[in-house]
Structure 1
């Protein structure tokens, strides 16, 4: 698997597992997920920015953010905002981040009508300054997973991880 390839697989209909190798050390890849100054530069698909990014990176802490489409070529998406909120459950630096991922509004109120997911990120040192990132996302049902897939989540995370790779090589 080259660094530009992401492997994805659906497990038992409600779990999506994504994997990708980055040419960067484990501690650096982990750091990209814990600091707002880094997240602002790569989180979100191509053509989207993070104008709001508040991170309280600790067990029980949260991350509240807004992704905004700034690419006029994306048609109806241009100007759209997508708010999210993460509640961190367990952090083992630099190996694991476990959190619940929600859609939210600008005030941070969780949108109960949208699917949430339980995420486990594993940062695996595979030697030679490379890190395998494994994202294990579990949804409440197969329908919830399908809903986010239909929204283009797989393309969005692929583009997001492309931007992470660019940031790591910056």
Structure 2
């Protein structure tokens, strides 16, 4: 199930600048969280459908950065930059995301990972500097659909890891 807004919370002061996307992923929270901690995982699923990612540099710790290029299905390259502002394993990741370090249009994202039985509910809250930048991200760049596709790619990736783990375990018996 995907949602694009917080359904159970009172509106925040940033509501007109937010995009909220959530999804239940059929995998343990620790595995879903781990998919964000290692570049070899991120490069397998990050981005909307049809995109690939090339990492220039990556270090997953608070204050460090991920510098990468997303390659669109039409051949367009998009320079991207993320700095990790908070990491609370396996519960929360906060980041600042722009096209480059110091980007005045960079947006903040907070990902939360909540157990949902044997699955994980991930919520991605993105807050843009202005309502206009949020609207542009939605209308020009398809941010809601792209975010839903990205979480779908994550779900498919961790499902494959879970399946491979079961096969390996069964093969060892």
TM surpasses 0.5: yes
Equivalent residue pairs, number: 152
CA spacing shift, 1:32–1:159, aligned 2, 3 Å: same
Contact 1:40–1:53 (8 Å) recurs in 2 = no
The answer for the alignment partner of 1:157 in structure 2 is 147
**Deviations for 1:83-119, whole angstroms, at most 9, x for unmatched residues?**
1111111111010111111123xxxx4443xx32111
Unaligned runs of at least 5 residues, structure 1: 72-77
> Aligned ranges for residues 82-161 of structure 1 at < 5 Å?
82-104=78-100, 109-112=101-104, 115-127=105-117, 129-150=118-139, 151-161=141-151
Contact 1:36–1:54 (8 Å) recurs in 2 = no
**Deviations for 1:12-34, whole angstroms, at most 9, x for unmatched residues?**
21122111100000000000111
Deviation at 1:55, TM superposition (A): 1.8
CA distance in 1, matches of 2:103, 2:79: 10
TM-score normalised by the chain length of structure 2:
0.82
Unaligned runs of at least 5 residues, structure 2: 161-173
Deviation at 1:54, TM superposition (A): 2.6
Alignment match of 2:60 (pick from 48, 51, 57): 57
Deviation at 1:53, TM superposition (A): 5.1
Deviation at 1:153, TM superposition (A): 1.2
CA spacing shift, 1:45–1:125, aligned 2, 3 Å: same
CA distance in 1, matches of 2:95, 2:154: 19
RMSD of aligned alpha carbons? 1.5
Alignment match of 2:3 (pick from 2, 7, 29): 7
Contact 1:53–1:64 (8 Å) recurs in 2 = yes
Contact 1:68–1:79 (8 Å) recurs in 2 = yes
Q: Between Structure 1 and Structure 2, which shows a larger proportion of strand residues?
A: 1
